[in-house]
Structure formats: structure tokens, C-alpha cells
Amino acid sequence: MKVQAEIADNAVAAGSPPGGRPAAVRDGRVGILLLNLGTPDGTDFRPMWRYLREFLSDRRVVETPRLIWYPILYGIVLTRRPRSSGAKYRTIWNKERNESPLLTITRAQAGRLAERFAGEPSIAVEWGMRYGNPSTESALKKLIAQGCERVLMFPLYPQYSATTTATANDKLYSALMKMRRMPAVRSAPAYYDEPVYIEALARSIEKHLSTLDFEPEVILASYHGLPVSYAERGDPYPEQCLATTRLLQARLGLDEKKLITTFQSRFGREEWLQPYTDKTVEKLAQDGVKSIAVVNPGFPADCIETLEEIAGEVREVFLHAGGSNFSHIPCLNDSDEGMDVIETLVRRELAGWV
């Protein structure tokens, strides 16, 4: 009893109520950091070179031993690819803002999320990129400057891969390693099977299809590709992509022949996840399919891979092979459905902090 009395006396002296329960003494804010893959600062050779060097030097993105990969990267890739990639970016570039669509959309997503937390002054929202600008470190410093003692990092990748989600965590913790006084941090998990995400995708598909003057015979759910060797080493990405498609099929009432999974954006000579999107649409057209639509469930924001590759290159492959009607279904972006996904999952992950 004497010990308990001393604890209570000490608590009162420290500004806590009697009974030993300390009063809240922190008034630090909670930060939300939306993190996307990245974008070059421009479409000319030098900014493309800087972006590609940073991206393709990541050991999680390219797992080839450095002694083999660096001569290829600096000797071939970075002498040729900046020009070809820059030309592709120019076809979709936001000329009004002089930035890539991914930058425009990610900023808009952060702005709309901040609006949804506008009535909660303890919350601050920032956004950043894994590669390029604004950097993860700069976004984290902005949150700390606003008094955030705790930070939730939300990787904008529905399906987990070491090449995406893990690299976002790498960058976050690399920035924290430079700080003497770190905030407490959390990282939101993948959300490939979350009901709010599946519902948002389904509604966006239904809305888009209702605007078309044709009915797709086949809908492709096209995900970013991954080397097969990465999956064989334990990356769960392909299974999570397939799970997303299965849940979409069930929600939309479509069978596996009407809504199919494909993989795009392969790079290099190594075998990647199949079936390949471009080869699939070509075969569909050759087999007599005249009308298709493509959705990208692995991309929460439209970018070079959706706007240039799918809506541009893959469309041309399909039409050239004999197809007649092609439509790209936009990503969730900063739509109401897309923001419902982010807000719902962010609020869940903030449990105990807010």
C-alpha cells in the first residue's frame, strides 16, 4: 500500500491523475505519407538518365550481381534508354504543369486525403516518391517540421512486391537512419484483397463500361510484370495479383474467360510472369475477338505504363492484329472511389494513434 501511495503521489506531481495512470503529455501530430514509385523531372536526356540510374541501380529492382549488371547498365542501358523513354514520356507529359501524370495525380491524391482529414488538426498529409522528386526524405522532413512525432507511410502499391513495397520501406528507413530524433513509424500493408479496394475497382469498371458504345468481349486485368525468378525466390506478388482478379470476377459476375489476368512492362531477356499483355491481345485479335477493354488493378494512379504502354502501344497491337474496339479503363486516381480506398485503409492503420 505504501508503494502504491508513492506511485500515486509521484503521478500527481508529474501532472497525472491519482491512481498511477499517466496523463497525456505529448501533443505531437501524426503524419500520413503517401509514397509512389517515382518519375523523372523532365523528358530530356539528363533527367531521364538520373531517374533511370536511380531506379535501375536499386538492388531489389534488379537482382543481377553488380559486377554483371553495372557494365550493362552504364554501358548500354543508360546510353540508349533515356532517349527512348524520354520520347515515350513526351507523349503523355502534363505540359501545363511540366510534369508527369503520376506526379500530378499523386499530388491530387494527397490533397484530397488532406481534405478528408481537414477537421482533425492532429493529422498532417504529405506525399513523396521512391525515385526522383519529391524524395521520400524531403516529404518525411516536411511532416517532422509540422510537429509529427508519428508517421504512417502508405505505399501506393495494392499488391506487395520486394521491387515496390519493400523499396518504399527501404527508402523510408534509410531517411530515418540519418536522423538523431526519429518519429515512430508504421507502414501500411498491401491491400490487394481488401473489400473497399475490390468494390472501388468494380465500380470504376462498371462506370467506364457504361460510357462505351460497344461491349467488350474480353476484359484484361493487366498488372506490371515481374521476373519469374523473383517469384521463385518467394515474392508473393503473382499470387496477390491472381487473388485480386478472382475477387473482381466474383464481384462483377464474370468468369475466367471474360476477365483474364495478364502481365506487362517486361524488361531484358529474362523470363517474366505470363501471359504477357501484348501477346495476349494480339492472339485475341487473331482469334476473332473484336472488342476488348483493359484495366490496371496494380496501379492506383495512371502513369507511363498505363497511359503510354496500354492506351498507346497495346492498343496499336490489338488494332493492327485485326481488333476493332479497344478501351483503357482509367486507374482509380483521385476519384471518389479511389480516395475511399486510401482513406478507409489509412484510418484503420492509424488505430491507437488517433
User: And the C-alpha cell for 23?
Assistant: 496523463
Distance CA 122, CA 213 (A): 48
Average pLDDT over residues 219-242: 98
pTM: 0.90
Who's near 54: CB < 8 A, 6+ residues apart? 38, 131, 132
Angle at 302 between CA 200 and CA 195, to 5 degrees: 20
- Kindly tell me if the per-residue pLDDT of 171 is higher than 90: yes
- Domain residue ranges in the chain: 29-191+336-349, 195-329
CATH topology agreement for domains 29-191+336-349 and 195-329: yes
Mean pLDDT of the chain: 93
pLDDT tens-digit map of 245-254: 999 999 999 9
- pLDDT for residue 14: 43
pLDDT tens-digit map of 16-37: 444 555 544 456 899 999 999 9
Other C-beta atoms within 10 Å of 251: how many? 16
- Kindly tell me if the per-residue pLDDT of 274 is higher than 60: yes
Nearest to 39 by CA among 133, 108, 106, 109: 133
- pLDDT for residue 12: 42
- pLDDT for residue 13: 45
Average pLDDT over residues 338-349: 98
- Kindly tell me if the per-residue pLDDT of 11 is higher than 50: no
- HSE-up of 298 (CA within 13 Å, CB side)? 28
- pLDDT for residue 144: 97
pLDDT tens-digit map of 113-150: 999 999 999 999 999 999 999 999 999 999 999 999 99
Across the chain, the runs of DSSP E, i.e. the strands, are 29-39, 123-132, 148-155, 184-187, 218-224, 259-264, 291-295, 325-329
**Fold (CATH) for 195-329:** Rossmann fold (3.40.50)
- Kindly tell me if the per-residue pLDDT of 159 is higher than 50: yes
- pLDDT for residue 354: 87
- Kindly tell me if the per-residue pLDDT of 15 is higher than 70: no
Handedness of CA 254, 255, 259, 261 (dihedral sign): positive
> In the structure, what pLDDT confidence band is assigned to residue 8 with cuts at 50, 70 and 90?
very low
- Kindly tell me if the per-residue pLDDT of 231 is higher than 80: yes
Query: DSSP for 96-138?
Result: TTTB-HHHHHHHHHHHHHHHHTTT-TTEEEEEEEEEESSBHHH
- Kindly tell me if the per-residue pLDDT of 268 is higher than 90: no
The verdict on domain 29-191+336-349 having CATH code 3.40.50.1400 is yes
